[in-house]
Amino acid sequence: MKKWKQKAIVQKVISYLPFSQKINYLFQRYVTKGVNLSEEYFLDRLGHAKEHIKGYQKITNNKVPQSCLEIGTGWYPIVPVSFFLTGADIIYSVDIAFLTSKERLQTTFQKFVDCNKAGQLKDFIDFIPERFDVITSLMVDYDKYSLKDILAMLNITYLIEDARHLSLADNSINLVNSNNTFEHIYPEILIPILKEFRRVVKKQGGVMSHFIDMSDHFAHFDKSINIYNFLQFDDKQWRWIDNSIQPQSRIRIYDYKQIYSDLNIPVSEETFRPGNMNELKAIPLSEKYTSKPLEETAISHCHFISDMSTVG
């Protein structure tokens, strides 16, 4: 049986167990090795932080977003720490599960320290040296600090809540962002989340910036399939395969654009990776993916930046 099918079965079973997120972490850490903080992952997310800040600066002419919110930070808070280093004062991370830990924060900090030592960090973020000193001094005597102290020193607050119902005031956030998260949220949940983001983001000087990875995530792990493999299944078949710990909605760039348009959220800046037409053509596509031009279905990643000052 192909590796991706084995993983799908294991995740499906885990999704029905109590403490499924914790069990999934252990499964990914020790079996699929999908949660170790690799250099590639670190630099990729650092690149996202760079693009969020660049997009924010371009739209607002301000250097630093004072208040930021990320949905679905995951195990390693690379983007929130980047925002701290560039000067943000209020940084929220919203997730339904608390996925980081003191140990994973330390791993994250070590990556920042190593990246700076290698002279690479400045190529990604224009960090404030005094803010970087906070991290280096923390690392000297790490055990002395509690997780709560560490997060407070970094201006980071974790909100463990459903992003459809945020405990934040209207009009209070300069930059709302996400990284490789929207693809895991089905439209019936994503739409209310976007409405909530529209509520909390500042209508003057507010920006939204979202990176979406529309590739089949099983292909990241099983190199015998390509990134469009999941598009062969119809919705009924996919419901059997998909699981609640790492769901994949499979929606394409045109679907996201339709959702944005329906909610009157502009796509002010857009970049995307075109994907690979030959790989897409190798998949017997389910009917729902054949109604749009194949070039659009093939787009594998996109980044939308929205100038929220144009939203009423």
Ligand X SMILES: C[S@@+](CC[C@H](N)C(=O)[O-])C[C@H]1O[C@@H](n2cnc3c(N)ncnc32)[C@H](O)[C@@H]1O
Judged by the rule CB under 6 A, the positions of this chain that interact with ligand X are 45, 71-74, 94-97, 99, 162-164, 179-181, 184-185, 189, 193
Q: How far is the CB of 180 from ligand X (least distance, A)?
A: 4
C-beta of 71 vs 207, nearer to ligand X? 71
State in angstroms the smallest separation of the CB of 65 from ligand X: 18
Query: Which residue's CB is nearer to ligand X, number 65 or number 74?
Result: 74
The residue number with the shortest CB distance to ligand X is 72
Task: Give the Cβ contact number of residue 55 at 10 Å.
Answer: 23
Pick 60 or 249: Cβ nearer ligand X: 249
Angle at 42 between CA 252 and CA 160, to 5 degrees: 70
Q: CB of 171: closest distance to ligand X in angstroms?
A: 20
CA 73 to CA 181: how far, in whole Å? Answer: 8
- If the CB atoms of residues 202 and 210 are measured against ligand X, the closer one turns out to be 210
Question: Nearer Cβ to ligand X, position 71 or 283?
Answer: 71
Query: From the CB of 234, what's the least distance to ligand X, in Å?
Result: 24
* Least distance to ligand X, CB of residue 250, Å: 14
In the complex, the smallest distance separating the C-beta of residue 75 from ligand X, rounded to whole angstroms, is 7
Expressed in angstroms, the distance from the first to the final Cα of the chain is 52
Nearer to ligand X, 98 or 240 (CB): 98
